[in-house]
Amino acid sequence: MSERVYIGLGSNLDHPERQLSEALQALAALPATRLLQQSHFYASKPQGPQDQPDFMNAVCLLETDLSAHALLQALQQIEQSQGRVKKRHWGERCIDLDILLYGDQSIQTPELTVPHKEMATRDFVLLPLAEISPGRVIPGMGRVETLIAQLEQTFVVPWVASNSNHTA
Ligand code: ROI
């Protein structure tokens, strides 16, 4: 049975906008999977260590026949093929792909927790998610707009593509 799955994308190294575009293409090319929607790209201040570049973030919606664990493996392969090397905990990365929601399912295994544990407090996830899925209720956490209203501050702005001509 196919499921609708929200994926969070983030990058703050090696041309972040190119990293996100490549990852979206790779997601769209996964077997038994369709890319249904993607948010704009957003520039965001790093959560975690501040001595790293700003991030670019987005959220997309897939429809897939892949199981959650098969999808997780596929995301890890995309991260590897884009050269992700883990430098430090909560540090900079070329590309980070997280399963945020997998249908309405709650999944708790050693490899995977869905809904993503930290999404309720992450402005860089909630704002793009609200763009493509207004009114979405995150199981166990609440409505996306309510979660946004509960953030003390947000450090996320839509990224304007015309700024990027010289970095493309
Ligand atoms: N901060 C922002 N703004 N965006 C991210 O994608 C991101 N990813 C992370 C940590 C390091 C927690 N901070 C982030 O993994």
Instruction: Fill in the amino acid letter for 165.
Output: N
What digits encode the pLDDT tens for the residues 127-164?
Answer: 999 999 999 999 999 999 999 999 999 999 999 875 54
Q: How far is the centre of ligand 1, averaged over its atoms, from the C-alpha of 9 (Å)?
A: 10
Domains of the chain: 3-157 (3.30.70.560)
CA distances 31 to 34, 50, 61, 90, 120, Å, are 8, 37, 15, 30, 30
Pocket lined around ligand 1, Cβ cut-off 6 Å: 10, 44-48, 55, 57, 90, 96, 124
Instruction: Out of 59, 89, 96, give the residue to mutate to test ligand 1, the one with the largest number of ligand atoms within 8 Å of its CB.
Output: 96
List the residue whose alpha carbon is closest to atom 5 of ligand 1: 10
Rounded-to-integer distance, Cα 96 and Cα 112, Å: 15
pLDDT digits (tens, 9 = 90+) for 14-56: 999 999 999 999 999 999 999 999 999 999 999 999 999 999 9
Residue among 123, 124, 101 nearest 11 (CA): 124
Q: For ligand 1, atom 12, name the residue with the nearest CA.
A: 90
Q: What is the pLDDT confidence band of residue 89, given thresholds at 50, 70 and 90?
A: confident
Looking at the predicted structure, is the pLDDT value of residue 165 above 50? no
d(CA 66, CA 29): 13
Tokens (6 digits) for 4: 């609708």
Q: How far is the CA of 49 from the centre of ligand 1 (A)?
A: 9
Alpha-carbon span 18 to 168, nearest angstrom: 7
Residue 55: strand pairing partners:
44
